[in-house]
Amino acid sequence: MPNPDVDVIIVGAGIAGLTAAWRFLSEGHSVAVFEANERVGGRLYGYQVGERAVQLGGRWTGPGQDRIKSLAAELGINICANTTFSDASIGRAGEDAERVAEAVHKLDEIAGQVPLEAPWLAPNAHELDSQTLATWLSTNCDPDIASTVGGLLAGFLPKASDVSLLHTAFYLHSNGGLSGILGLNGPAHDSEMFDGGAHQLTDRLGEKLGSHIHLNTPVTQISQDQHGVRVTSGDLEMSARFAIVALPPTLASRVIYDPPMPPERDYLTQRMPIRGKIVVALLYDEPFWRNAGHRLVETDRLLLWDEGGDQNPAALSGLISIDWSRELWNIPAEDRRAAIIDEVSTVLGPKTRQCSDYHEIYWAAEPWSRGCNSYMTTGAWTAWGQALRRPVGRIHWAGAEISPQFVGQMDGAVRSAETTVDAICSLIKTS
């Protein structure tokens, strides 16, 4: 491939892929972005309803997440305080708060020993990786505390019975520890938000990149040799010097690679599922719940929060539990909406049924994302983890899963993109 069409082809127009493309253009390199969906944004998704920004994807930032904040400033997007969870994390444990805090600190002690660049080198890595979070909780905590801590972590990770303890520890260390996530020692993990919605980040990047983005263009195959790469989507083929695959690992594994991925990369992606929940937004003519002092609506099946502000309409947004999401998605849409509103009414009363508009997305059902947060099952980090970030020939990786810092977050996605861009720019200069 002596005369490539562009310097770099990027697969995926989420926050990582778009950031990488924008950085390459800023460095004077040519780029093309292939996106399977009809829109940019990936796991960031939102839009305007009246004065209200409805957000159904990633939305928050917080302490230390400097790269996403720098990108926001570059794009002219302001950041404001989010006080929704300021007193709502460990405080929900009530009289068990002290015992929950003890369990949190025990987890943080384990997490602090996990090297972010190489979790498989942690002390007792194989022991940690051979058990689930649920196993550790059941062994080290009373049942009620295990349930509470597992519930708190389910806001960021999958069910405790599904995720490796080593991956849990890596995730916690990467994001400032569970104490930091919950705000026990300062501002909480989700203490800031983007004025007008986080989706503005990818919307504005999409506008800047314009014709460099090819929407409705799912990549089916990436071929490479010593000279470059060739990316195929239907009848469209394009060549480049390098490629970045900015997809969740489980989706990256569905692309055909020629030559095939090495075994360690292929086996890794088989052990990295992605968690998906139903996300909803309930819109109202007035925020009636505020008169009763409600900022959060929490049951065993859902967690909703007041989006705040004086914009019309008022909004309650939130997450449906993993188990109930699976159940609800198999019933008609109108029945699903009624069931969710009925559940909220058990806390807020009959006015809940005066919902003027309802919005939802089930991330597990989205064919070009299939979920929100990826994670590793038992044994994956110690057996195959070294393949997560390592390029394969001229194919590099980016995304929220790839960064050692703030893994699973928008900030981590931006960090991974910028690190990968720097690496490829260095290769271009020396080639």
The 10s digit of each residue's pLDDT in 407-425 is: 999 999 999 999 999 999 9
pLDDT given at position 48: 96
**Is 82 within the bounds of a domain?**
no
- What are the distances in angstroms from CA 395 to CA 244, 246, 269, 321, 414? 6, 11, 15, 36, 18
Residue 359 CB neighbours (<10 A): 18
**Is 149 within the bounds of a domain?**
yes
C-alpha 328/C-alpha 337 separation (Å) is 9
Mean pLDDT for 78-102 is 74
Q: 54 has which bridge partners?
A: 47
C-alpha 250/C-alpha 326 separation (Å) is 19
pLDDT given at position 387: 98
Residue bearing tokens 């394009």: 238
Output the pTM of the full model: 0.96
List the CATH number of the domain containing 126.
Answer: 1.10.405.10
pLDDT given at position 3: 82
Whether residues 257 and 281 share a domain: the answer is no
**Is 387 within the bounds of a domain?**
no
Whether residues 255 and 398 share a domain: the answer is yes
DSSP code of residue 364 = G
Question: Residue 160 pLDDT > 50, yes or no?
Answer: yes
pLDDT given at position 82: 83
pLDDT class for 184, splitting at 50, 70, 90? confident
The whole domain housing 227 covers: 6-43+199-261+392-430
Pick the residue with more confidence: 86 or 429?
429
- How deeply is 412 buried, as exposed, middle or buried, from its count of CB atoms within 10 A (0-12, 13-18, 19+)? buried
pLDDT given at position 165: 98
Contact of 58 with 285, CB cutoff 8 Å: no
**Is 351 within the bounds of a domain?**
yes
The sign one gets for the Cα dihedral 176, 182, 188, 194 is positive
Whether residues 94 and 177 share a domain: the answer is yes
pLDDT given at position 344: 98
pLDDT given at position 186: 81
pLDDT given at position 85: 66
Which of 10-19, 81-90, 267-276 has the weakest average pLDDT?
81-90
pLDDT given at position 188: 84
The 10s digit of each residue's pLDDT in 302-354 is: 999 999 899 999 999 999 999 999 999 999 999 999 999 999 999 999 999 99
Give the neighbor-by-neighbor strand order of the sheet with 357-362: 296-298, 302-306, 314-320, 278-284, 357-362
Whether residues 257 and 289 share a domain: the answer is no
Question: Residue 84 pLDDT > 80, yes or no?
Answer: no
**Is 412 within the bounds of a domain?**
yes
Whether residues 401 and 257 share a domain: the answer is yes
Q: Which two tokens stand for residue 265?
A: 């990369």
Contact of 424 with 229, CB cutoff 8 Å: no
Among 381, 361, 379, smallest CA distance to 371 is for 361
pLDDT given at position 97: 84
**Is 422 within the bounds of a domain?**
yes
**Is 110 within the bounds of a domain?**
yes
Contact of 336 with 249, CB cutoff 8 Å: no
List the CATH number of the domain containing 295.
Answer: 3.90.660.10
Among 314, 310, 307, 309, smallest CA distance to 288 is for 314
DSSP code of residue 188 = -
pLDDT given at position 30: 98
**Average model confidence (pLDDT) for the chain?**
95
Whether residues 333 and 285 share a domain: the answer is yes
How large a percentage of the chain has pLDDT more than 90? 90
pLDDT given at position 92: 54
Question: Residue 81 pLDDT > 70, yes or no?
Answer: yes
User: Which phi and psi (to 5°) does residue 287 adopt?
Assistant: -85, 70
**Is 80 within the bounds of a domain?**
no
List the CATH number of the domain containing 218.
Answer: 3.50.50.60
Q: Which two tokens stand for residue 191?
A: 């203490």
C-alpha 264/C-alpha 287 separation (Å) is 52
How many domains are contained in the chain?
3
pLDDT given at position 196: 94
